[in-house]
C-alpha cells in the first residue's frame, strides 16, 4: 500500500507572514495543529523542513511535533553539524538529507551525493547511530542512485520536479515525448533504487493532476506532497485535502500494481 507523507511547511509560512521570532509560537495557523489535522485526514507521515534560516518551521514546532505526532515524522534537513545535532537529539523517525539554498523558495534540485560521498557517508552513520531511517532526496540520475547506495542511505526520494514541469507544459499528454521521457527517468531510477535494496519514494511539485502516473509506478513506497495539499486545504480544509490526495494515490497505485 502506497503511503502519503504530508509536508506542512507552508502552514508555518502563512503563520510567519505575521508572527515571527519569539512570537511565532503564539501565532496562527499553528503547524502543530495542522499535523494533527493531516493525521485525521489519513496522512501516513508528516514532513517538515527545519531550514538553517528558520524561514518557516521553527525549533518549537519540531520539538512539539516530535512529542505529539502519532504517525511517522520525517525531518528534511541540510547535512550540517547543527542539523545533525538537532536530529540526534529529537530523533524523528526519518531524517531526509536535502540540498539547501538561502534564496530558493523551495528545494530546487536533488542532493549531490556523488560529489559529497565521503562527508555524507559520515552524516548517514551519525544519524543511523541515533536510530533513524536516513533518506536522500536525489535527482533520477543513475550515478546519484549508486552513490546513495554507497553512502548507506536506507531510502531514496526521487525528485519529481522536472516531471511536474513537463506535465504542465504538455498538459498531461503522455504522447508528448518530453513528458514521457521525464516519467521514464523516474521509473528507471525507481527500478535501480529497488534493485539496490533501498526504499523507493518520490516527491516535489506533485499535485492532484499529475500524481497518478507517479503513484502507479511499480514498487513505489511513499510520496511526499506539501504545497498542493496546503493550497487545496484553503478551500476544503486540511483533512479533506489530505483525504482526496490519499484516495487518488491509492487508486492509481492499485491500478498500477494490477498491470
* Residues belonging to the active site: 49, 76, 204
Q: How far apart are CA 248 and CA 259, in angstroms?
A: 17
28: Cβ–Cβ under 8 A, 6 or more apart, which residues? 15, 19
Classify residue 17 by burial, with Cβ atoms within 10 Å: 0-12, 13-18, 19+.
exposed
Task: Determine how many CB atoms are found less than 10 A away from the CB of residue 90.
Answer: 19
Cis before 186? omega within 30:
no
> How far lies 11's CA from each of 44, 48, 49, 69, 154, in Å?
18, 10, 12, 16, 29
C-alpha cell at position 101: 539554498
Q: How far apart are CA 9 and CA 106, in angstroms?
A: 10
> How far lies 218's CA from each of 1, 78, 113, 252, 255, in Å?
11, 29, 24, 11, 10
Amino acid at each position: 500500500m502506497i503511503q502519503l507523507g504530508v509536508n506542512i511547511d507552508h502552514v508555518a509560512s502563512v503563520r510567519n507572514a505575521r508572527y515571527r521570532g519569539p512570537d511565532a509560537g503564539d501565532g496562527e495557523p499553528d503547524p502543530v495543529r495542522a499535523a494533527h489535522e493531516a493525521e485525521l485526514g489519513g496522512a501516513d507521515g508528516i514532513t517538515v523542513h527545519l531550514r538553517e534560516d528558520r524561514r518557516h518551521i521553527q525549533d518549537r514546532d519540531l520539538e512539539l511535533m516530535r512529542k505529539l505526532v502519532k504517525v511517522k515524522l520525517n525531518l528534511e534537513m541540510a547535512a550540517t553539524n547543527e542539523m545533525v545535532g538537532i536530529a540526534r537529539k529529537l530523533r524523528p523517525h526519518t531524517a531526509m538529507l536535502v540540498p539547501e539554498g538561502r534564496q530558493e523558495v523551495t528545494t530546487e534540485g536533488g542532493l549531490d551525493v556523488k560529489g559529497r560521498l565521503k562527508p555524507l557517508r559520515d552524516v548517514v552513520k551519525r544519524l543511523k547511530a541515533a536510530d533513524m531511517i536516513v533518506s536522500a532526496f536525489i535527482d533520477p540520475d543513475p550515478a546519484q542512485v549508486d552513490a546513495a547506495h554507497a553512502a548507506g542511505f536506507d531510502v531514496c526520494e526521487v525528485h519529481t520536479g522536472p516531471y511536474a514541469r513537463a506535465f504542465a507544459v504538455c498538459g498531461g499528454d503522455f504522447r508528448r515525448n518530453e513528458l514521457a521521457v521525464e516519467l521514464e527517468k523516474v521509473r528507471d531510477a525507481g527500478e535501480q533504487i529497488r534493485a539496490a535494496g533501498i526504499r523507493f519514494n518520490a516527491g516535489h511539485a506533485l499535485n492532484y493532476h499529475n500524481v497518478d502516473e507517479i503513484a502507479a509506478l511499480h514498487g513505489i513506497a511513499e510520496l511526499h506532497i506539501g504545497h498542493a495539499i496546503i493550497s487545496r486545504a484553503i478551500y476544503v480544509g486540511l483533512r479533506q485535502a489530505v483525504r482526496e490526495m490519499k484516495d487518488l494515490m491509492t487508486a492509481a497505485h492499485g491500478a498500477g500494481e494490477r498491470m
